[in-house]
Amino acid sequence: MRRWNWLVAALPLAAQTPLAGQVAAGQLEEGARIFQQGCAVGYCHGAGGAASRGPRLRGRTFARDYLIRTVANGLPGTAMPPFKGRLKEAEIAAVADYVMSLRDISESAAAQAVVASASGTIHTAPADPGRELFFDAVRGTRCGTCHALDGLGAAIGPDVLKPDKSRTPKTVRLKTGESFPGVVLGTEGGSTVVYDLTGDPPVRRSLLATEIAAISAGSVWKHDTGRGRYSAAEMRQIEAFLTKARGR
């Protein structure tokens, strides 16, 4: 772990604000460090909260509770992501305090604060190797392409924690003569919605009743054994992860 050069410039700045008496100096330094790593970057809030794609934070007044809630949960429907899980509670509070300290900050002081801040990384939870394989992006198609878990992945095949038969593929025959193995989701707006499993990834198709010749039980489809996508050792890691997850 690298040793931080603490944000020296933030101290006199913080002293100018009414907050200074309430917030421990270390808290602002920690908040500034996290802000620099996760909030000021690229097109987000800009160095010192100067505004970019994200709104300007400098020179504005926010309620502390609102900041904590927003950092933790994000703002659904916008570009603001939730940091809960990536940051600890105390770290989220530190970011909120830092943002509040930007209220009376002048432009030059904010820029200076950023220059003085050091490199570091924001906290991330260690991942289970089996879980990593389940969602491993560099393989293209992976378990998560067809199975949802913990809010990630597509719910096309069965729930891997509680498998049932509702997602068993059937044979869908169209009047055009086309036939394919499909997971039938139900009807939506007058169409039958089916995942066509011949696509990789599967294709969600909306079929009119007039297009369908028959949907019958059973299909030629077989679950990928993982061969070619995962090694035997990797498959064991995935199974170990799922066993553990089922026991949660």
In whole angstroms, the minimum distance from the beta carbon of 240 to another protein comes to: 21
Kindly tell me which of 21 and 210 has the beta carbon lying closer to another protein.
Answer: 210
In SS3 terms, 111-130 reads as HHHHHHCCCCCCCCCCCCHH
In whole angstroms, the minimum distance from the beta carbon of 21 to another protein comes to: 29
Interatomic CA distance for residues 49 and 58, integer angstroms: 5
Kindly tell me which of 3 and 165 has the beta carbon lying closer to another protein.
Answer: 3
In whole angstroms, the minimum distance from the beta carbon of 222 to another protein comes to: 18
Instruction: Give, rounded to a whole angstrom, the gap between the first and last alpha carbons of the chain.
Output: 32
In whole angstroms, the minimum distance from the beta carbon of 241 to another protein comes to: 16
CB 171 within 8 A of CB 149: no
In whole angstroms, the minimum distance from the beta carbon of 90 to another protein comes to: 20
Which one-letter DSSP state was computed for residue 14?
A: H
Dihedral over alpha carbons 64, 66, 71, 76 (to 10 degrees): -170
**What is the binding site for another protein (CB under 8 A)?**
36-38, 40-44, 46-48, 50-56, 74-82, 86, 111, 114-115, 118-122, 124, 135, 137-138, 140, 144, 151-154, 191, 196, 198-206
CB 91 within 8 A of CB 123: yes
Interatomic CA distance for residues 35 and 182, integer angstroms: 47
In whole angstroms, the minimum distance from the beta carbon of 238 to another protein comes to: 16
Nearest CA to 169 out of 160, 153, 180, 159 is that of 180
Kindly tell me which of 42 and 247 has the beta carbon lying closer to another protein.
Answer: 42
Strand, helix or coil at 37? helix
In whole angstroms, the minimum distance from the beta carbon of 199 to another protein comes to: 4
Kindly tell me which of 64 and 204 has the beta carbon lying closer to another protein.
Answer: 204
Kindly tell me which of 117 and 237 has the beta carbon lying closer to another protein.
Answer: 117
DSSP string over 140-207:
SS-GGGT--BTTBS--SS--SSS--GGG--EEEEETTS-EEEEEEEEEETTEEEEEETTSSS-EEEEE
